[in-house]
Structure 1
Amino acid sequence: MSRPHDAHRSFFPFGNPFKMISSKGTKFSPQLLEILHAFEATLEERLKKLVPESKDEILSFSWMTLAMQALCESHSDIKTLITELELPVHDWDEKWIDVYLDISVKLLDICIAFCSELSRLNQGHLLLQCALHNLESSSSDQFVRACSSLDGWNQHIGSKNPRIEKCSCILDNLVGSLDLPKVKKSAKGKVLMQAIYGVKVLTVFVCSVFGAAFSGSTKNLSDLDVADIYSWAPSFKSLRDLVNEEIRVRFSSGRFTVLKELEAVDSSVKELYPIIQGVVDNVETGILLKIVGELRRATEQLSQGLDLLTKEVDSFFHVVLTGRDALLSNLRSGAAGSDLIRGSNGDAQAVN
């Protein structure tokens, strides 16, 4: 949706954020300050909730679901903020609209990529179910079929998702610039831009973490820096440092995956596979049943986690899409109103 002359603009084509805060000639009224402080306090609380009690919770599907919920709520809060500011779209600066449309289309692309990866993981889950079904019998033929399903799981889960690979380019642009547009004389505009900046930081962070987890690489991980002038900056930095450090430690250890539920499945598969292949002889029935039970529990947790996270990514997609549609609808309504006014003036001139 960006214009031809904006082809080389960064993902968030804004100016210097400090200009927005330190610009002369515009002061925030007590009411505007109250609105902004309330918005940023809510953002800070969301950031604090994302700090896990244990490092083991990082990149579990439950933590990722919570992170996606934070995005949905924060983007919804922006729409509420616009209403509170009584800042109708027809009063928006043209560059704000360009910014919003640029952001929204990229976020929709990212959501589609994430959904495709979650769908791919769900397809792998079907192979695990087939293996578990065959393991309900102790016959050698069923074990052969179970081995085949586990082979399929290993190959499927180890393959690359082209959508995620392409998503890295979007993430690079997303990290590339977090500057804000210059806002002249409009106190409400400055409040809006400062609020949007906080939400963008959260969005960039969460999407970069998801991108790293799904791609199996730290190249998409971003160490965003935020100025201390923002009340929520300390909470963000604590979260960023904790999560990014743990992800890098996991990758450096050569783990199969940094996703907790996938790692649990992989661990059970590796323990079970040599047994049903016949590589390990004289395994007690009780031990085999125990390992199969662990795989079944890990598979169920994987399925449940995938379902919950998929719903939240879908919800985020819907929040972004409806916000974009509302903006475009308001723009069309505004244009139609302007045409009507111009038409009425023309009629009056003709009568005169």
Structure 2
Amino acid sequence: MSQPQDPQRPFLPFGNPFQMILPKSSNLSPRLLSILNSFEATMSERLESLKPKDMEDILSLSWMISAAKSLSAIHTDVKALITSLELPVSDWDEKWIDIYLDNSVKLLDVCIAFSSEISRLNHGHLFLQCSLHNLDCATPVQFTKARSSLDGWKQHVSSKNPRLEKCSSTLDNLIDTLDLPKIKNSSKGKVLMRAMYGVRLVTGFICGVLAAAFSRSADKLSDFKPPETCLWADTFTNLQAVVHGQIRNVHSSGKVASLKECDLVHTSVMKLYPLSLNEDDPEAMRISITDLRQRADMLSQGLDLLAKEVDGFFQIILTGRDALLGNLRVGSDMFNSTQKSNHAEGPTVR
């Protein structure tokens, strides 16, 4: 865990893993090079689309939704690359399979943690709805109940989610194992490992930003330095500098680096609360109630959309994992069937 006085984590010292994947002496066929370049160019475009037009949008639900969509698209792209490589699972190295399965478990856990936090924040919307309902009644008793609900919302959103803490350690484990096994005598394998490395790095970055927004802290952000040989390196580095820089600037200024929509609701709650005590400015009260209702609805709708994107990413990882395990079982069954057949036939008489 990062120390409070030094929230910025250094660039991860991975060196240049692509020297193991695609050394200078290796030559890819035009077809494999085209597959790899197309994949990396597309990933660069997807990262470029995440560059925010306004710095304040970085911690907004709209940006997080776009980031989750891009992440799903990138993982779908790598599935298409695997198909294009025509590299059946039976030809995969055991280490590649272990990496894929281990990473998929970690990512499923991260998705579950994110879904848990989204559900928790959405549960807080019930406090806001209850408060707004009581404020509409405009009686002293109902106002007291409304203030109690507003207090409940403030306590709820400021509480900690244990699953997010576990999520941070899971992301750390995912990042710490970014290095890849050495690939020998397999051009297709080298292309696959290079693509998977890029996907894992981008996944670590995006999930880290989402985790920072949910946990309201910049301490868990990790900086990545991709090898210059990949087509998406510059785009990624620029995006990371902008996103991480803004989050750390907010954090270092003494503010809480939380969701923009949550901050807007909090501002409305803090403005409305004292008005509900005096009840001597009905027009200001009416405006504040309307403002809170609109911002609460915006938060709830944004959380619902983000929940769908996180669930979609979860399904992509799950189906990919299931497909790999299914192919492994088919390959194992075919091998066992062949072995039984050979055994039944007995030795060949020469």
Query: Shared fold by TM > 0.5?
Result: yes
Which residue does the alignment assign to 1:291? 288
Letter in 2 for 1:272: L
Unaligned 5+ segments in structure 2 are 1-13
Match runs of 1:1-352 below 5 Å: 16-22=17-23, 24=25, 26-278=26-278, 282-283=280-281, 285-349=282-346
Is the Cα contact below 8 Å between 2:217 and 2:257 reproduced in 1?
Answer: no
Tell me by how many angstroms 1:249 deviates: 1.5
Unaligned 5+ segments in structure 1 are 1-12
Q: d(CA) in 2 for partners of 1:77 and 1:167?
A: 25
Q: d(CA) in 1 for partners of 2:121 and 2:222?
A: 24
Is the Cα contact below 8 Å between 2:21 and 2:191 reproduced in 1?
Answer: no
Tell me by how many angstroms 1:159 deviates: 0.6
- Pick which of 220-229 and 230-239 moved more: 220-229
| Structure 1 residues 245-302: Cα deviation after superposition (integer angstroms, max 9, x where no partner) | 1111222233345211001000101111111123xx632x222111111111110100
Q: d(CA) in 1 for partners of 2:52 and 2:27?
A: 38
Tell me by how many angstroms 1:23 deviates: 6.1
Is the Cα contact below 8 Å between 2:268 and 2:288 reproduced in 1?
Answer: yes
Tell me by how many angstroms 1:15 deviates: 9.5
| Structure 1 residues 149-171: Cα deviation after superposition (integer angstroms, max 9, x where no partner) | 00100111111001011112112
Which residue does the alignment assign to 1:7? none
Q: TM-score, normalised by structure 2?
A: 0.92
| Structure 1 residues 34-77: Cα deviation after superposition (integer angstroms, max 9, x where no partner) | 11110001000000000011111112111101101111111111
Number of aligned positions between the proteins: 336
Tell me by how many angstroms 1:27 deviates: 1.9
Is the Cα contact below 8 Å between 2:16 and 2:227 reproduced in 1?
Answer: no
Which residue does the alignment assign to 1:5? none
Letter in 2 for 1:181: P
SS at match of 1:218: coil
Q: d(CA) in 2 for partners of 1:256 and 1:155?
A: 15
Letter in 1 for 2:151: D
Q: d(CA) in 2 for partners of 1:191 and 1:166?
A: 33
Letter in 1 for 2:35: I
SS at match of 2:137: coil
Which residue does the alignment assign to 2:4? none
Is the Cα contact below 8 Å between 2:215 and 2:258 reproduced in 1?
Answer: no
Q: CA RMSD in A?
A: 1.7
Letter in 2 for 1:268: S
Is the Cα contact below 8 Å between 2:41 and 2:232 reproduced in 1?
Answer: yes
SS at match of 2:86: coil
Letter in 1 for 2:172: D
SS at match of 1:196: helix
Q: d(CA) in 2 for partners of 1:112 and 1:347?
A: 49
